[in-house]
Amino acid sequence: MERTVSIVRYKPGERNVEKAISLCGGAEGLKSHFKVMIKPNVVIGGRLYKNLKKGVVINAEVLEELIVFLKDFGCTDISIGDGSVQLPELGATTETAFLTSGITELAERYGLKLLDFYQHPFKKVTLGGKRIEISVPVLEADYVVNMPVLKAHNQTQVSLSIKNLKGALNFPSKKNFHKFGLDRYIALLGTYLRPHLNIVDGLYSLNKGPVSADWQEVGVLLAGNDPLAVDIVGTKVLGFEPSDVGHLREYAAITGESLDIGKIAITGESLEDVQVTSEWETTWDEMMSAFNVKGVSIITSGAGVCSSCGFAMSRALYMVFRDLTGQSFQPVQFVVGEVAKIPEISQTMLLGKCAINMNKGAAGSIRVKGCPPNVNDVYAMVKEYLTTGACTPSQAK
């Protein structure tokens, strides 16, 4: 039963979550006296979330169905928790993420505990020889229900059950995962936490996630006890091959489980009936060509840029390119994340601690400190640098 995954077509007003759980035998280990932790994907809130809406965070109606299921089951100790992107200058905190996603209202209405993991203790754990810190309320739960969204992800190709657990880390550990080796550490964390039940909210799928406005309607839920099995099916629903996804390969290697979908019992809808085509890779060139901006290159290191810098830089540079639509500049480069030392330092702006540390002593470069840098600082400095060739001393920190 452990390798069973259900696929349910979502029908408004019906008990879809209950059906998905029942079809995979997902609640067999649940007891009504358990301390239950629901870990939904609530990656971002605040102004950044406002115009995105679909496919970015859990749908409140799906979460509400799970809450009703747990209450009907007799569970009384239920918490919902996550640690969302922190960009206070854009109003993005876990608190605003709970608010904009409708979770705050759900927690109040059903009398549940709502936890911003950053406001609670973390426990030091050694994984793969490295020290990381995991949320204590997650570790102390008797039963963890993991609720990812059906996403293609621009660094990890998919973001499903295993990747969703990264939200249980403290902020330094999240950043360190990108230095330690993102795929391997996502897999190690997944095998360590191994949630009891995984329910993928696939009402919409997201292209080029974790945060984008490029979504499509899929209208399904997936459920199962085995996170790898659920992710194999979710990856196929998105239209990708599980063996192409680095963290799934790592997870399978660690646990000895198979990536072969033929070894998973799929119940409910057939996979072929719900599959879509998805896109996961993004380039900065896409944003620049959307605004017809020329002469700028952005040097990054893919998975070496952590999500905080990814969100902060894409927001800041989006605002700059929008303001400078159609303009061409003398060649200039912006460096983000832990990239190899840049050979030519003239006309370079180093954005954030990692880029600065990798290019210490580089005369002539402009540095924007921060980890991540403040979005408004980056916006102001990049815009001034592009339009005047320099930054004012008060901005050049």
**Residue 223 touches ligand SF4, criterion: CB under 6 A:** no
Nearer to ligand SF4, 148 or 372 (CB): 372
Nearer to ligand SF4, 232 or 305 (CB): 305
**Residue 36 touches ligand SF4, criterion: CB under 6 A:** no
Write the Ramachandran bin of 108: left for phi over 0, alpha for psi from -120 to 50, otherwise beta: alpha
Please, what is the minimum distance in Å from the beta carbon of residue 240 to ligand SF4? 26
**Residue 115 touches ligand SF4, criterion: CB under 6 A:** no
Please, what is the minimum distance in Å from the beta carbon of residue 182 to ligand SF4? 12
Other beta carbons within 10 angstroms of residue 244's beta carbon come to 12
**Residue 236 touches ligand SF4, criterion: CB under 6 A:** no
Per CB under 6 A, the segment of 57-65, 123-131, 245-253, 303-311 that binds ligand SF4 is: 303-311
> Are the CB atoms for 171 and 86 separated by under 8 Å?
yes
Token digits of residue 234: 């979710």
**Residue 210 touches ligand SF4, criterion: CB under 6 A:** no
Q: Who contacts 256 (Cβ-Cβ below 8 Å, separation ≥6)? A: none
The kind and range of the H/E element at 288 are helix 284-290
- Listing DSSP states for 228-239 in one string gives HHHHHHHHHHHT
Residues 331-370 that bind ligand SF4 (CB under 6 A): 337, 352-354
Please, what is the minimum distance in Å from the beta carbon of residue 391 to ligand SF4? 19
> Are the CB atoms for 85 and 43 separated by under 8 Å?
yes
**Residue 242 touches ligand SF4, criterion: CB under 6 A:** no
Nearer to ligand SF4, 20 or 354 (CB): 354
Alpha carbon 113 to its chain centroid, in Å, reads: 23
Closest CA to 26 of 186, 192, 143: 143
**Residue 306 touches ligand SF4, criterion: CB under 6 A:** yes
Write phi, then psi, for 184 (nearest 5 degrees).
-65, -40
Per CB under 6 A, the segment of 22-30, 128-136, 276-284, 302-310 that binds ligand SF4 is: 302-310
Q: What is the 3-state secondary structure (H, E, C) of 123-136?
A: EEEEECCEEEEEEH
Closest CA to 359 of 370, 371, 350: 350
Please, what is the minimum distance in Å from the beta carbon of residue 32 to ligand SF4? 42
Please, what is the minimum distance in Å from the beta carbon of residue 64 to ligand SF4? 34
Residue 178 burial (C-beta neighbours within 10 Å; 0-12, 13-18, 19+): buried
Please, what is the minimum distance in Å from the beta carbon of residue 87 to ligand SF4? 10
Token digits of residue 210: 């974790």
3-state helix, strand, coil in the chain (%, to 5): 40, 25, 35
**Residue 308 touches ligand SF4, criterion: CB under 6 A:** yes
Q: Which of residues 19, 151, 166, 175 is near ligand SF4 by CB under 6 A?
A: 175
Residues 372-391 that bind ligand SF4 (CB under 6 A): 372
Q: Which of residues 112, 199, 252, 305 is near ligand SF4 by CB under 6 A?
A: 305
Please, what is the minimum distance in Å from the beta carbon of residue 355 to ligand SF4? 7
Nearer to ligand SF4, 137 or 352 (CB): 352
Please, what is the minimum distance in Å from the beta carbon of residue 305 to ligand SF4? 5
Closest CA to 389 of 370, 367, 366, 373: 366
**Separation CA 163–CA 183 (nearest Å):** 9
**Residue 309 touches ligand SF4, criterion: CB under 6 A:** yes
Site string for ligand SF4, 43-82 (x = CB under 6 A): ----------------------------------------
**Separation CA 47–CA 66 (nearest Å):** 28
> Are the CB atoms for 251 and 257 separated by under 8 Å?
yes
Q: Which residues bind ligand SF4 (CB under 6 A)?
A: 175, 305-306, 308-309, 337, 352-354, 371-372
